[in-house]
């Protein structure tokens, strides 16, 4: 006895697959029409940058790693005159502020913050810097429970890492916005 699949079953799955592909094509056309595109690598108007202080905080260290092969980041022992730009990431501060307590005075909510101060100038240092004393602040709210203190500590570390990555991306976007005329 031969078993065969009913034609309605194969027709139904074929029709469903066709509808899924049509829906996917329609969604991608809609996204392309609105200007959406994935964030690619950024183009910079400079080839060499010095990032200080050495080794610096976690933001400065992640920033050094994030340039990849697009821009050469000078090592600590190389003279600053070889760089086109000198970026100084100072006052990197991590803060934890209590924003909520319960009726018995136990902490229920915290606010985590990272602050960094930026200064960007040309290596020659002539005139005013390109970026003078800009502060970038990231903050996240986190609930707190003493019964889950270890888990909350791990969540806090993840949030700090996420904020640090956001700050690095903001700095990279600011550096990508620099025009070649500003480097003179």
Q: What is the pLDDT of residues 1-52, one digit of tens each?
A: 555 555 555 666 788 888 888 888 888 777 766 766 666 667 788 889 989 8
Domain residue ranges of the chain, discontinuous segments joined by +:
48-183
Output the average pLDDT for the chain. Answer: 84
Between CA 59 and CA 182 the distance in angstroms is: 24
Model pLDDT, residue 1: 52
Give tens-digit pLDDT for 163-180.
999 999 999 999 988 877
CATH fold of 48-183 reads Double Stranded RNA Binding Domain (3.30.160)
Model pLDDT, residue 43: 79
pTM, to two decimals:
0.73
């Amino acid at each position: 006895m031969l078993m065969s699949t009913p034609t309605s079953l194969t027709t139904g799955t074929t029709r469903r697959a066709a509808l899924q592909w049509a829906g996917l094509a329609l969604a991608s056309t809609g996204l392309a029409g609105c200007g959406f595109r994935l964030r690619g690598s950024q183009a910079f108007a400079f080839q060499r940058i010095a990032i200080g202080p050495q080794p610096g905080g976690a933001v400065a260290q992640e920033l050094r790693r994030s340039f990849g092969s697009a821009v050469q980041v000078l090592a600590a022992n190389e003279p600053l005159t070889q760089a086109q730009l000198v970026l100084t990431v100072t006052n990197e501060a991590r803060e934890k502020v209590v924003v909520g307590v319960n009726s018995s005075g136990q902490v229920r909510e915290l606010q985590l913050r990272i602050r960094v101060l930026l200064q960007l100038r040309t290596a020659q240092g002539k005139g005013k810097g390109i970026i003078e004393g800009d502060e970038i602040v990231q903050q996240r709210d986190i609930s707190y429970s003493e019964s889950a203190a270890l888990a909350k500590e791990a969540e806090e570390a993840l949030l700090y890492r996420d904020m640090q990555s956001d700050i690095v991306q903001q700095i990279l976007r600011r550096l990508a916005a620099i025009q070649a005329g500003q480097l003179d």
